[in-house]
Structures are given as structure tokens and as C-alpha cells.
Amino acid sequence: MEKAASYRFDLTRYTWLRRLLTSRWPQFILRAITLAGFVLVILTGFIGSPVGSRNFAVMFVWIAWWSALKLIMLPFGGRAWCSICPIPMPGEWLQQGWLVKPGGKMFNLGLRWPRRLRNTWLQSAGFAAIGLFSALTLTTPVVTAWIFVGLIVVAVAVSVIFEQRSFCRYLCPMGGFIGLYATMAPLELRPQPGLTPVEKGAAAREWPRGCPWINNPAALKANANCGLCLECLRTESGANMALNVRSFDAELGQPGAFRLDEAFLSLGLLGSVMIYSAVFQG
């Protein structure tokens, strides 16, 4: 039986909201705040109390942030966290040669990510590796600090060598599972319905260069790989894009929406829930 059309409401029909979203400054300020928190976490991880339950880094990251991410940001905002995440910031500054928007000398080889690795297997492996040592991470603050230092060093290195946000798209250990959750989120960035072939053609020429997540937004049908960075709203064809609220099941049942690597990631997440429940609750 054919699935009934899902509910969608275009938030960007409100001019004031579209203006707010197309300005880079509000997003930059939020990202600057999360970057300051990120630096604080690294510092307190290295020089704070060595006892996990008394250390800001452990309590903030693995209790406060992790809970907020799983209970609020992912279910209601999908990749909303990725839109203000500080981890890719230094790499982006090098890529665009400026802090807020492209404008300076770029430090980037711009290589394409290897075709065989364009999937979520590496992300799943990274997530599993962090999960495997979670008992150590939760009790030893310096491990949390090193994880964060490692993430930012790898993100910068990947940004210098590869194009756009290849790190987020193919390597970030959180990126894979956030993308999976985002498929059921009630928020999406999509092309306006009813774009003419001419408008789609123009968008296709403009957007692959402009989308940091290496999508063609004019053809975007799924949330998994859209980091809600809002850059497509800021292009000349930005009026053809919309930020919609939608029903939670809007993406379920879409043909071709799920892949083998994503299916394995889902099984891995389910397995980790069962293992953690058994280990931590006896």
C-alpha cells in the first residue's frame, strides 16, 4: 500500500527566519561558544581532577552533553548538533582562509575522498573503538581529553588534504550514528517542491561546489548526509531551498534510502545498548 504524503511545513517562508539563517553570524557565535566549551573540556581533562566523577570534562561530555544529544538534539533536531559542532571549525578556517566565510588564501589540496571508503564503515569502526573503551573513558578524564585532541587533529589533517567536510561525512565516529538518527528527525533541509528542470539544473551547477557535505542539495532526499550547515540557503539559488519541519516518519519507506553499511551500524548500535545494559546494570 502506498504511504500517505508526509506532513511538511516550510519554516523559511518567514522572511525574518530566512534572514536569520542566511546570516553566518548567529551560527558562528553558537559555534564559537561550543568551541570554547570544547577547549575547556580538553584543558580540564588534562589538568583537572583525575577522578572521573569529579572532573568537568567527564561529567560535561559523557553525562550532560551525551544525554542532551541523545534525548533532545537527535530526536528533535537530527543533525542540528552538526550545525554548531566545533570539531570541523579549525579545518574549515584553513579551507576557506577566513573565520566566518570563504574569503582568504585557502590551505587545501582538495582531493576527493577514496571511492571505496565513501560509506560509514570507518565511522562505525571509530564509534565501536570509543565504545569498547567506554569504562576507561568514563573513569579517566585524560582519555576524554586525548579523544577530543585526536578528533580535532584528524579533522584538521583531513580538511587540508581532502575536499570540504570529508571528515564529517566519512570519518567522524559520531557522524554515522547521528546521521542514522537524523532519518527520523522532524527537521530537514530540502529543495522547494516543484522546482523546474531549469532551476534544478542551475542548482546542480552551483551547489556541489557550495555544499560542504558534498551533496547536491537540489537532489537531496535524505537527512543522513546533510549536516544542516545552511550553506545552500546562502547561495544565489538559496531561495529554492527550505528548512522544513516534518512528521517523524517522513523519510521511512523511501525507496533506496538505506544501505548495508547503515544496516550494520544500526545493528551495532542495538548490540551496544544490550551489552551496556548487561554490563552496567548487572
Q: What residues line the site for ligand SF4 (CB under 6 A)?
A: 82, 85, 87-88, 168, 172, 174-175, 178, 189, 211-213, 215, 217, 220, 226-232
User: For residues 275 and 265, what is the distance between their CA atoms, to the nearest angstrom?
Assistant: 15
Q: Are 1 and 7 in contact (CB under 8 A)?
A: no
Measured from the CB atom, the residue of 98 and 280 that comes closer to ligand SF4 is 98
Buried b (16+ CB within 10 A) or exposed e, 105-129: eeebeeeebeeeeebbbbbbebbee
Min CB(211)–ligand SF4 separation in Å: 3
Dihedrals phi, psi of 189, to nearest 5 degrees: -105, 125
Residue (of 135, 133, 148) closest to 61 by Cα position: 148
Measured from the CB atom, the residue of 77 and 175 that comes closer to ligand SF4 is 175
| Local structure of 173: helix, strand or coil | coil
Fill in the DSSP letter of residue 253: T
**DSSP assignment of 181-217:** HHTT-SEEEEEPTT--HHHHHHHHHHHHHH-TTS--G
Min CB(160)–ligand SF4 separation in Å: 15
Enclosing H/E stretch for 39: helix 24-47
Min CB(279)–ligand SF4 separation in Å: 25
Find the Cα–Cα–Cα–Cα dihedral 122, 89, 11, 209, rounded to 10°. -70
User: For residues 196 and 218, what is the distance between their CA atoms, to the nearest angstrom?
Assistant: 11
Measured from the CB atom, the residue of 87 and 156 that comes closer to ligand SF4 is 87
Min CB(1)–ligand SF4 separation in Å: 31
Measured from the CB atom, the residue of 48 and 235 that comes closer to ligand SF4 is 235
| Local structure of 250: helix, strand or coil | coil
Measured from the CB atom, the residue of 145 and 230 that comes closer to ligand SF4 is 230
Measured from the CB atom, the residue of 141 and 175 that comes closer to ligand SF4 is 175
Measured from the CB atom, the residue of 139 and 216 that comes closer to ligand SF4 is 216
Min CB(260)–ligand SF4 separation in Å: 21
Min CB(113)–ligand SF4 separation in Å: 14
Min CB(120)–ligand SF4 separation in Å: 11
* Cell output for 263: 544496516
